[in-house]
Amino acid sequence: MNEIPLHTRRLVEKLLQAYCDRICPPSARHAVMLGFRLEFDRVTIHELQKLFGIPGTGQPVELAQFRYRADRNSWRLYHLDERSRWRPYPRQPVAHGFIDLLREFDADPAGVFWGRLNGRSLRWCSPRGRCVDCDLRYCQVLGVAERANNLESSSPVRRLTSAST
């Protein structure tokens, strides 16, 4: 049986709720929202897109799926291919901690999750990337707050100011 243990389920739910709530910028949540669905042995992250541009309506567009294997006490990350079939994420096949795969999903170095949203996702503040404030919020949720201290020197993330917008 691969059911996610209750304690793990509660921790994953709390982590994903914080992740989806802090997606940036909060002022644009009316345009795009992230959510998740917990099932028996898997967690699916989706974007809620408006139907025909009508406020208050929406349809979930699945982005990623995390599957739990009880016999190995491990998680595996999946992405949708061009035919909308779940495929194992090639860069990090298995992890024992959910947070490791969530970090991989957030960074998306292979471009299989965020690239398919046509730039409309709240993943980025602008076409140039995340601002420092939004990157700090992500880092806090994902447990990598030390990166926020070195943003100016080591990260391609730019501070968006009135001069640069």
DSSP string, 88-137: E-SS---BSSHHHHHHHHHH-TT-SSGGGGTT-STT-SBTTB--HHHHHH
Q: Are residues 145 and 91 in the same domain?
A: no
- Range scoring the smallest mean pLDDT among 29-38, 54-63, 66-75, 156-165: 156-165
Q: How many domains does the chain have?
A: 2
Q: Give the domain extent around 97.
A: 6-121
Q: Are residues 107 and 136 in the same domain?
A: no
Query: In the Cβ-directed half-sphere of 136, how many Cα atoms lie within 13 Å?
Result: 10
Does any domain span residue 1? no
Whether the pLDDT of residue 64 is over 50: the answer is: yes
pLDDT tens-digit profile of 98-136?
999 998 888 777 778 876 444 444 455 554 556 676 667
Q: Are residues 68 and 117 in the same domain?
A: yes
Q: What is the pLDDT of residue 162?
A: 31
Q: Are residues 55 and 117 in the same domain?
A: yes
Q: Are residues 94 and 53 in the same domain?
A: yes
119 vs 86, more confident: 86
Q: Are residues 161 and 89 in the same domain?
A: no
Does any domain span residue 134? yes
Q: Are residues 85 and 18 in the same domain?
A: yes
18 vs 56, more confident: 18
Q: Are residues 78 and 117 in the same domain?
A: yes
Q: Are residues 162 and 110 in the same domain?
A: no
Q: Are residues 53 and 89 in the same domain?
A: yes
Alpha carbon of residue 129 to chain centroid: 15
pLDDT tens-digit profile of 9-54?
999 999 999 888 776 556 656 656 788 999 999 999 998 777 777 7
CA-based angle 130:136:103, to the nearest 5? 80
Burial of residue 149 (number of CB atoms within 10 Å: 0-12, 13-18, 19+) = exposed
Q: Are residues 11 and 73 in the same domain?
A: yes
Helix (H, G, I), strand (E, B) or coil at 18: helix
Does any domain span residue 55? yes
Does any domain span residue 135? yes
Q: Are residues 138 and 110 in the same domain?
A: no
Is residue 92 within 8 Å of residue 79, measured between CB atoms?
Answer: no
Separation of alpha carbons 113 and 80, rounded Å: 8
